[in-house]
Amino acid sequence: MPNVVKEMSVHDRDMFLKAACTGTAVRYYIRIMIVGESRVGKTCLLRRLMNESITGVNSTNGINIEVRKCKIDLQKKEWIFVSEDEFSSISQYQTQQYADCGFWDFAGQKDFYATHQTFLSTNAIYLLVVDMSKDFTNKSFKEMVENKFDRSGEYIDFWLENIHCYAINDDNQASVQQTNMWNPPVIIVGTKVDKIQNDEQKSEKMKSIIELFRHHTNFNHIRGSPYFLSNTEAWNHELKLKKLREQILEVAMDIPKWGDNLPTRWIVLEREIENKIAEEKYIISYEEAQQLAENCSFPINKTDSELDSFLKYEHEIGNLIFFDNIKRYIILEPKWLVNIFKCFVSATEFQSEFVDMEEWTQLESTGILSDSLITKLLEKEVKLHSAEQRNFALQIMETFNIIVKHTNKEGKKNYYMPCMIKASSYDDIINKFNLNSSTCTRSPWFRLVFKFLPPAFFNHILVTFIKKYVVCPTKDDKPSFYRGIGIFNLDENDCQKLIVCLSKNCVAMQVWEFHHEEQQICHGNYSNIRKHLEDNVDLIQKKYKMNIDYTSHLKCSKGMYDKEAEQIACDGIKIKISCSEHGASHTLEELRRTWFDVSFVYE
């Protein structure tokens, strides 16, 4: 039984075993994620690996996915570059001889990182592409919250940390653990070596990048030595491309999850779905899926039940998109969902026709996604055949927390898109809410400090607060959303407000209490809010199958949420801290009082 199925419900495992009783076969699939900085040659590398021309390649908008365009003969270890129709005439169901190979080409622009997390997976091989002609000595990704990466090294560091979030502890990884290697595996590809004219400089560049990776904290994800090549001079690097293809296969075969043993009728249904995709039918109704299942010998009286188990499995391994709570349609080809995402989350260079629209200005300033803008954006990329499909697309966006529906005090419902809001300074927010007034008291900051926090993760967290609490309106009746910040009302009288902030690998919260007369401290206990944050961080990790380490800290109410200095661990040994920011000292018990039910007991 595949590990993915083992993690599914008892009912789904039972459906799998009953289907397997009618016959099984091995199915091989390689998912390859191509990641790295913008304009380093990721799409060109994909074309070269697929034995295609690079003529007409432009910067990738969002995520481009090339799937099932290539097969690998496992006996001969040869890559077969033919169309699906041509390959079907060679061998339609000889799954144990051929492997399917799917490429995912990710955009390098920082604007798209909010959507990347939706598609990253443990069960994949990552090609991390580096422009050899650039400076990659600076490795600090920590300024990525609002600042752009200045050097290639920052992208290298960022992507290795991002991939490491999907590192798993798996009892079936014995072969990997023996060689001290971590999954998911990463292969480094250095491009644009033709731009380095001096052989000595080229040699120094190669040595320095090897040293950079050798000393990286996530080095154990990397397989083999880096590949250095030129996409524009492929005739000089064909041997390296051939060796890269060979290593991709070798790495895939070394992954413990290589080769799932599936019920034969499940594999047959997979092939029928591939045929639909070849016909460019990327989305089908649930009724159409039922008919396909019956044609593939699924038992008619239990078609719905076994079909749902099959679809959940295919969703978990990334072959399609299926949610049991919105199963009116099934997305057969992730490219359909990608096209939806591209409509909404695109760098300015890809949205030039909208930047002067009033609705686009409103989106960037308030996060509100108007109906008219939704219609215009969807017209750009996706042909939705009915209002029902349009609503389904929005439901999918909600499920992935790219957008969120919220009802304001007047009962009006709006879609919000937090990841598209422009930044605002914290000092401006302090002035807007008059936090320096003597009648306003602020709680200590509660901070979750992460070893690494993926860009989209805060959006997921923010959405959980939007769904639970009322978004605080500003004086001009706009929602208090800012890039990396959300402000919420905790009571009906607007006398208690919660601010949730993103900083460098940290999520911080503070409560503001507004009184009729001068007060010194916050009197409320908000342990339920702390628990909401911690519980949802764990749920998000479980949903996206991630492992992200974090620790809990407290900080003086007058301190800056984005500064690590003078914070104290919630469960640490230190019981007192001196705060230089306003010349006072605080005990751990004093700082814990707002965020925990029980006062700290000293031993």
Length of the chain counted residue by residue: 603
Structure tokens at 257: 């999850």
Lowest pLDDT segment from 2-16, 102-116, 307-321, 518-532: 102-116
Q: pLDDT-based confidence at 59, cuts 50/70/90?
A: low
**Is pLDDT of 237 > 80?**
no
Do residues 248 and 187 lie in contact, with contact meaning Cβ atoms separated by under 8 Å?
yes
Do residues 418 and 367 lie in contact, with contact meaning Cβ atoms separated by under 8 Å?
yes
Name the residue type at position 582.
H
State how far the Cα of 491 lies from the Cα of 171, in Å rounded to an integer: 48
Phi, psi of 206 (to 5 degrees): -65, -40
DSSP bridge pairs for 579: 584
pLDDT at 601: 46
pLDDT at 375: 84
**Is pLDDT of 171 > 60?**
no
pLDDT tens, position by position, 457-499:
888 899 899 889 988 887 777 788 888 899 999 988 888 999 9
State how far the Cα of 446 lies from the Cα of 124, in Å rounded to an integer: 36
**Percent of the residues in the chain that have a pLDDT greater than 90, as a whole number:** 21
DSSP code of residue 26:
E
Q: Which of 281, 287, 265 is nearest to 332 (CA)?
A: 281
**Is pLDDT of 520 > 80?**
no
What residue has token string 């992954």?
Answer: 255
Mean predicted confidence (pLDDT) in 198-218: 80
State how far the Cα of 447 lies from the Cα of 48, in Å rounded to an integer: 46
CB atoms within 10 A of CB 61: 19
Task: Using CB atoms within 10 Å of the CB of residue 373, give its burial: 0 to 12 exposed, 13 to 18 middle, 19+ buried.
Answer: buried
State how far the Cα of 14 lies from the Cα of 73, in Å rounded to an integer: 33
Q: pLDDT-based confidence at 148, cuts 50/70/90?
A: very low
Mean predicted confidence (pLDDT) in 95-115: 69
**Dihedral of CA 553/583/143/488: which sign?**
positive
**Is pLDDT of 145 > 70?**
no
Name the residue type at position 576.
K
pLDDT at 448: 96
DSSP code of residue 168:
-
The DSSP bridge pattern shows strands 186-191 and 584-587 to be unpaired
pLDDT at 71: 83
**Is pLDDT of 139 > 50?**
no
What is the C-alpha radius of gyration for the chain, rounded to an integer number of angstroms? Answer: 26
Lowest pLDDT segment from 232-236, 239-243, 254-258, 561-565: 232-236
pLDDT at 14: 94
> Which range scores top for mean pLDDT: 83-92, 139-148, 315-324?
315-324
DSSP bridge pairs for 509: 446, 500
**Is pLDDT of 73 > 80?**
yes
Higher pLDDT, 107 or 460: 460
Lowest pLDDT segment from 10-24, 290-304, 316-330, 340-354: 340-354
pLDDT at 170: 46
State how far the Cα of 130 lies from the Cα of 128, in Å rounded to an integer: 7
> Which range scores top for mean pLDDT: 17-26, 61-70, 121-130, 342-351?
17-26
pLDDT at 409: 66
pLDDT at 175: 35
Q: pLDDT-based confidence at 176, cuts 50/70/90?
A: very low
| Residues 6+ positions from 576 with CB-CB distance below 8 Å | 585, 586, 587, 588
Name the residue type at position 341.
F
Mean predicted confidence (pLDDT) in 137-155: 50
Mean predicted confidence (pLDDT) in 24-50: 85
Mean predicted confidence (pLDDT) in 125-146: 66
pLDDT at 149: 42
Instruction: Find the helix or strand (DSSP H, E) in which 106 lies.
Output: strand 98-106
Mean predicted confidence (pLDDT) in 45-66: 72
Higher pLDDT, 375 or 90: 375
pLDDT at 120: 78
pLDDT at 107: 66
pLDDT at 287: 92
Structure tokens at 248: 């991709």
State how far the Cα of 349 lies from the Cα of 356, in Å rounded to an integer: 13
Q: Which of 453, 364, 387, 354 is nearest to 145 (CA)?
A: 453
DSSP code of residue 587:
E
pLDDT at 46: 87
Do residues 89 and 71 lie in contact, with contact meaning Cβ atoms separated by under 8 Å?
no
Measured N-to-C along each axis, helices 238-254 and 42-49 cross at an angle, to the nearest 10 degrees, of: 90
pLDDT tens, position by position, 239-261:
888 999 999 999 998 887 788 88
372 φψ region: left (φ > 0), alpha (ψ -120 to 50), beta (else): alpha
pLDDT tens, position by position, 181-190:
888 999 999 8
CB atoms within 10 A of CB 199: 8
**Percent of the residues in the chain that have a pLDDT greater than 70, as a whole number:** 82
Q: Which of 47, 65, 43, 32 is nearest to 335 (CA)?
A: 65
Burial 443-476 (b: 16+ CB within 10 A, else e): bbbbbbbbebbbbbbbbbbbbbbbeebbbbbeee
Domains annotated on the chain, with CATH: 23-254 (3.40.50.300), 351-416 (no CATH), 423-550 (3.30.310)
pLDDT tens, position by position, 309-366:
999 998 888 788 898 889 899 999 877 887 787 777 764 555 666 666 788 888 888 8
**Is pLDDT of 88 > 90?**
no
Average pLDDT value for the chain = 80
What residue has token string 């949802």?
Answer: 536
pLDDT tens, position by position, 521-538:
777 889 999 999 999 999
C-alpha atoms less than 13 angstroms from C-alpha of 254 in its C-beta half-sphere: 20
State how far the Cα of 372 lies from the Cα of 153, in Å rounded to an integer: 41
pLDDT at 413: 80
Burial 524-546 (b: 16+ CB within 10 A, else e): eebbebbebbeebbeebbeebbb
Element counts in the chain: helices (H) and strands (E): 20, 24
Alpha helices in 285-386 (DSSP H): 286-295, 303-316, 334-344, 358-366, 371-381
Do residues 47 and 53 lie in contact, with contact meaning Cβ atoms separated by under 8 Å?
yes
State how far the Cα of 487 lies from the Cα of 317, in Å rounded to an integer: 37
Q: Distance between terminal CA atoms of the chain?
A: 50
State how far the Cα of 127 lies from the Cα of 104, in Å rounded to an integer: 10
Name the residue type at position 481.
F
What residue has token string 């929602």?
Answer: 479
**Is pLDDT of 600 > 50?**
no
**Is pLDDT of 21 > 80?**
yes
Q: What is the pTM of this model?
A: 0.81
What residue has token string 């957008």?
Answer: 403
CB atoms within 10 A of CB 243: 14
